Amino acid sequence: MAAEGFDLSGKNALVIGAGSSAGRAVALALAEAGARVAITSASHDKDDVSAVAETARQLETRGQKAEARTLDATAAAEVEAVVAKVMADLGGIDILVNCPDLFMAKPIEQVAESEWARILSVNLSGVFFACRAVGPRMLKQGKGRIINLASGLGERGLPNCSAYCAAKGGVVNLTRALAQEWAAQGITVNCIAPAWLEDTPGLGDPNPEANRVVRFIPMRRAGRPDEIGPLAVYLASDSAGYVTGRTVFVDGGLLAHL
């Protein structure tokens, strides 16, 4: 059962936000497990588009043809159009992974309304639009796997990160709600919540002796993006057929410590 239970051969996956380190790790892991993977950016930002192109290149070095699509995850009509195109190209979507991530750290009194709206739009509305576009199509198929990436800050707050914490907390509860809404129809909806990764903005020196954040993590190191991929494979596989509505924290024991 060990090998067969995690085999994604014959499955089609869509990874939105595959330019982030976590999104790239998930896309590569799904492909390695046998899935055919379509990838998109989460915005039209030049750096994001370039990062997704690099993910496509890495997929191709592993023998999988991958088209890097550009997508603004905050534009509902655009999400719907890209999903329809991927469905037509692949013949269906069995696995949806939502990885949009935009971080901001500011005291709340300094957060402009436009910044608040942008953080919620990218991190929460983008996930909602993708689930709304793909979910009904999965219902017609009678099965599906949805995996949303949130953050440990969606469970615990952090000073000067109110907008980001609110958005990621919304992803956690959106996951719980959709899991209940679609469970009887064979669709599982789960969430992966990383804490500090090696490339997290503002992390600074990864040496625990020089970094209070890293020193506070029980494992005394930041996480690696490739430590997220295997969990995504499990949640996307037939082995996780009875797992839904769960948020799994990949945090080196951080929340247990808190």
Mean pLDDT of 119-136: 97
Domains of the chain, by residue range, sit at 4-251
- The predicted pLDDT at position 258 comes to 59
Distance between CA atoms of residues 14 and 12, nearest Å: 7
Give whole-number Cα distances, 155 to 125, 214, 220, 256, in Å. 18, 18, 20, 12
- 55 against 153, higher pLDDT: 55
Distance between CA atoms of residues 168 and 150, nearest Å: 5
- 110 against 215, higher pLDDT: 110
Instruction: Judge contact between 26 and 232, C-beta under 8 A.
Output: yes
Distance between CA atoms of residues 182 and 138, nearest Å: 10
Instruction: Judge contact between 42 and 16, C-beta under 8 A.
Output: yes
- The predicted pLDDT at position 254 comes to 85
- The predicted pLDDT at position 176 comes to 98
57, pLDDT greater than 60: yes
- 72 against 223, higher pLDDT: 72
Mean pLDDT of 30-36: 96
- The predicted pLDDT at position 3 comes to 62
Instruction: Judge contact between 248 and 192, C-beta under 8 A.
Output: yes
Residues facing 97 on adjacent strands:
15, 147
Q: Give the list of residues 6+ apart from residue 37 with CB closer than 8 angstroms, or none.
A: 13, 14, 15, 27, 30, 31, 59, 64, 66
- By CB atoms closer than 10 A (0-12, 13-18, 19+), residue 10 is exposed
Which has the closest alpha carbon to 168: 219, 217, 234, 122?
A: 122
- The predicted-structure confidence for 210-252, as pLDDT tens digits, reads as follows 777 778 888 788 889 999 999 999 999 999 999 999 999 998 8
Instruction: Judge contact between 195 and 251, C-beta under 8 A.
Output: yes
Average model confidence (pLDDT) across the chain: 92
Instruction: Judge contact between 35 and 11, C-beta under 8 A.
Output: yes
98, pLDDT greater than 60: yes
- 234 among known catalytic residues: no
Distance between CA atoms of residues 232 and 149, nearest Å: 10
pLDDT category of residue 165 using cuts at 50, 70 and 90:
very high
Helices of type H across the chain: 21-32, 46-61, 76-90, 113-120, 126-141, 162-182, 212-216, 229-236, 254-257
- The predicted pLDDT at position 206 comes to 72
Task: Domain 4-251: give its CATH code.
Answer: 3.40.50.720
201, pLDDT greater than 80: no
Neighbours of 56 (CB within 10 A): 23
Please state at what angle helix 126-141 crosses helix 162-182, rounded to 10 degrees. Answer: 10
- The predicted pLDDT at position 1 comes to 45
Mean pLDDT of 133-154: 95
- The predicted pLDDT at position 33 comes to 95
3-state helix, strand, coil in the chain (%, to 5): 50, 15, 35
- The predicted pLDDT at position 191 comes to 98
Mean pLDDT of 61-80: 92
The catalytic residue among 164, 182, 196, 234 is 164
